[in-house]
C-alpha cells in the first residue's frame, strides 16, 4: 500500500493532528444519527402508532445488537487490514442508511434500516481508537482519545438542535435525509487523505515470529486482567442509565414541561454539547495528568465522575420549574462526561498494539449491548408500565429508576483501579 506510513518515517505532529480532526468529524456523524432518532421519537411514534416500548426497542436493541455483534469481526478485520478503509466503508454505509431512514414506509422498514445503521457504525469507533493509538504516543494517548471523544458532544448538539429544527420545519423524514447524506462525502475524504500508520510504532516491538492475535487470544488476554473484568461492569452499568437518559430526555421535556420539538432539541443540544465538550476534553487531559502520578487515577476519575453527576441528574428530572431544571443539568453534564477518555485509554494501554481494535470492540460490545441496547428499551418499557398511574409523568420516573445503576458502576470502576497500575506495568 503506497499510503501506509513507512516505518522509517513517523507521521508529523501536524499530520497526526489532521487525522485526529478528520476522525473527530467522523465521530460527530456517528452521534448525529443516534441523537437524531432521539429528538424525532414523538413524530415517528405518532405516524406509526408505536408504544414507548417499541420506540425504546428501535432506539436501543434494533441498533445495538447488530452494532455490537458486527463490531467484533469488523474490529478483527481492522487489526489485520487497512483501518482507514474500514472506517471509510463503515461511514458510507451508516450515512446511507441514515438517509434511507427518511424513506421508510412502515415500522418494520424503519427497524431494518436501523439495523443497517448499526452494522455500518461498527466500522467507526474501534478502528479509530486503534488508528489514534498509532498516531499518538502513550503519554499523549488519553488526551488524543479525549479530543476524539469530542465527537460525542458535538454530534449530540447537532443531532438534537439541527434535527429538532428540521423535524419541526420539514418533518422527520427530511431530517434524516439531510443529516445522512453529508457522511457519504466525508467517507471519500477519509479514503483519499488518511494514511495508514505502522501498527504499534510507538510501542515496544513484538517478538520475532509472533503471530496475529485471534479473537480467542484477545478475549483470553483481557479476561486475565482483573482490572478489565471490573471495567466491563463499570462501563456497562453506567452506560445503561446514561444512554437511557440521553435518548429519552428530549421526550421528557416535551411531555412533562410542554417544550416543542425544536425547543427541546435546542436546549438539550446546546447544554449537552457544551457541557459534554468541556468535560470530555478536560477528562482526557486530567486523566493523563493524574495518571503520570498514579496510573490508578485513570479509572478512579470515572468513579468520581459518575457519583458527582448523580445528584444533578436527579435534580434535572425532579425539579418542577423547567428552566431551573435545565440550569441544574449543567454541572451534572460537566462532571458526568469525563468517563470516555479514561475508559478507552485504559483499555488501549492494557493490550499490545496488534490487539487494540479488537480490544476496543470487546469493551464496546458490553457497553453498547447493555447500555445502548437495554438502557433506552428499559426506559420505554418502564414508561409504558407506569403510564396508567402517572400519565405523561411516567417518563420522568422511568428515567429516575435506572440512575440507581450508577452507584454499582462507580463501585466497579473503583475496584478496577486497584489492580490497573500493576497490570499496566506488567504488560510493558
CATH of the domain at 405: 1.20.1250.20
Could you report the per-residue pLDDT of 343-371, keeping only the tens digit for each?
777 787 788 777 776 787 788 788 888 98
What distances in angstroms separate CA 73 from CA 10, 68, 78, 357, one per listed residue? 29, 10, 9, 10
Is residue 207 assigned to a domain? Answer: no
Q: Which residue has the higher pLDDT, 66 or 203?
A: 66
Contact 162, 228 (CB under 8 A): no
pLDDT band at 8 (very low <50, low <70, confident <90, very high): very low
CA distance 351 to 134: 13
In a domain? residue 7: no
d(CA 147, CA 281): 6
In whole angstroms, what is the distance from residue 50 CA to residue 61 CA? 16
Does residue 12 surpass a pLDDT of 60? yes
Evaluate whether residue 373 is within a structural domain.
Answer: yes
Which are the contacts of 64, defined by CB distance < 8 A and separation ≥ 6?
118, 368, 369, 372, 373
* Segment holding 187, helix H or strand E: helix 182-193
Residues 6+ apart with CB under 8 A from 320: none
Domain assignment present for residue 4? The answer is no
- Which domain range does residue 150 map to? 13-198+214-426
Q: Record the pTM.
A: 0.80
What are the grid coordinates assigned to 165, written together? Answer: 429544527
User: Residue 156: which of 263, 78, 46, 273 has the closest Cα?
Assistant: 273
Residue 8, in any domain of the structure: no
Torsion of CA 149, 154, 157, 162, to 10 degrees: -140
Predicted confidence (pLDDT) per residue in 227-241, tens digit: 888 988 888 898 898
Q: Per residue in 23-63, pLDDT tens?
A: 999 999 988 987 898 999 999 999 999 999 999 998 888 88
| Of 156, 21, 185, 189, residue with least CA distance to 95 | 185
Confidence band (pLDDT; 50, 70, 90) for 312?
A: very high
- Please give, one letter per residue, the 3-state secondary structure of 208-234: CCCCCCCHHHHHHHHHCCHHHHHHHHH
Nearest CA-CA partner of 68 in 377, 340, 361, 374: 361
For range 302-309, the mean pLDDT:
88
Q: How confident is the model at residue 1 (pLDDT cuts 50, 70, 90)?
A: very low
Q: Which of 37, 66, 412, 49 is nearest to 243 (CA)?
A: 37
Specify the pLDDT at position 201.
66
The number of distinct structural domains making up the chain is: 1
Whether 209 maps to a domain, the answer reads no
Amino acid at each position: 500500500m503506497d499510503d501506509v506510513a513507512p516505518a522509517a518515517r513517523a507521521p508529523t505532529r501536524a499530520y497526526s493532528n489532521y487525522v485526529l480532526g478528520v476522525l473527530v468529524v467522523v465521530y460527530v456523524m456517528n452521534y448525529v444519527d443516534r441523537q437524531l432518532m432521539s429528538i424525532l421519537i414523538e413524530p415517528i411514534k405518532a405516524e406509526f402508532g408505536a408504544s414507548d416500548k417499541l420506540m425504546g426497542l428501535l432506539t436501543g436493541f434494533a441498533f445495538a445488537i447488530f452494532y455490537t455483534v458486527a463490531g467484533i469481526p469488523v474490529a478483527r478485520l481492522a487489526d489485520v487490514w487497512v483501518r482507514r478503509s474500514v472506517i471509510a466503508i463503515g461511514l458510507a454505509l451508516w450515512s446511507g442508511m441514515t438517509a434511507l431512514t427518511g424513506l421508510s414506509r412502515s415500522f418494520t422498514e424503519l427497524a431494518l434500516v436501523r439495523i443497517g445503521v448499526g452494522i455500518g457504525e461498527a466500522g467507526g469507533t474501534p478502528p479509530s481508537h486503534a488508528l489514534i493509538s498509532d498516531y499518538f504516543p502513550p503519554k499523549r494517548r488519553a488526551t488524543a482519545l479525549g479530543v476524539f471523544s469530542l465527537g460525542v458532544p458535538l454530534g449530540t448538539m447537532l443531532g438534537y438542535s439541527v434535527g429538532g429544527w428540521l423535524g419541526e420545519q420539514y418533518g422527520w423524514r427530511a431530517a434524516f435525509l439531510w443529516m445522512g447524506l453529508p457522511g457519504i462525502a466525508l467517507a471519500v475524504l477519509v479514503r483519499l487523505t488518511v494514511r495508514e500508520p505502522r501498527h504499534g510504532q510507538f510501542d515496544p516491538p513484538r517478538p520475532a515470529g509472533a503471530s496475529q492475535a485471534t479473537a480467542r487470544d484477545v478475549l483470553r488476554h483481557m479476561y486475565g486482567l482483573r482490572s478489565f473484568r471490573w471495567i466491563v461492569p463499570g462501563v456497562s452499568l453506567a452506560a445503561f442509565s446514561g444512554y437511557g437518559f440521553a435518548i429519552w430526555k428530549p421526550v421528557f421535556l416535551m411531555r412533562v414541561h410542554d417544550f416543542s420539538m425544536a425547543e427541546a432539541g435546542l436546549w438539550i443540544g446546546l447544554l449537552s454539547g457544551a457541557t459534554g465538550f468541556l468535560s470530555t476534553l478536560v477528562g482526557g487531559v486530567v486523566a493523563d495528568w493524574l495518571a503520570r502520578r498514579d496510573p490508578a487515577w485513570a479509572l478512579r476519575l470515572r468513579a468520581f465522575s459518575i457519583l458527582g453527576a448523580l445528584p444533578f441528574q436527579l435534580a434535572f428530572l425532579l425539579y418542577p420549574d423547567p428552566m431551573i431544571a435545565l440550569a441544574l443539568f449543567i454541572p451534572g453534564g460537566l462532571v458526568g462526561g469525563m468517563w470516555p477518555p479514561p475508559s478507552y485509554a485504559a483499555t488501549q494501554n492494557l493490550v499490545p498494539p496488534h490487539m487494540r481494535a479488537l480490544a476496543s470492540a470487546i469493551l464496546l460490545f458490553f457497553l453498547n449491548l447493555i447500555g445502548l441496547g437495554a438502557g433506552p428499551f428499559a426506559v420505554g418499557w418502564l414508561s409504558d408500565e407506569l403510564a396508567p398511574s402517572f400519565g405523561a409523568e411516567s417518563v420522568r420516573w422511568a428515567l429516575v429508576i435506572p440512575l440507581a445503576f450508577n452507584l454499582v458502576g462507580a463501585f466497579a470502576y473503583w475496584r478496577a483501579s486497584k489492580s490497573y497500575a500493576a497490570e499496566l506495568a506488567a504488560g510493558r
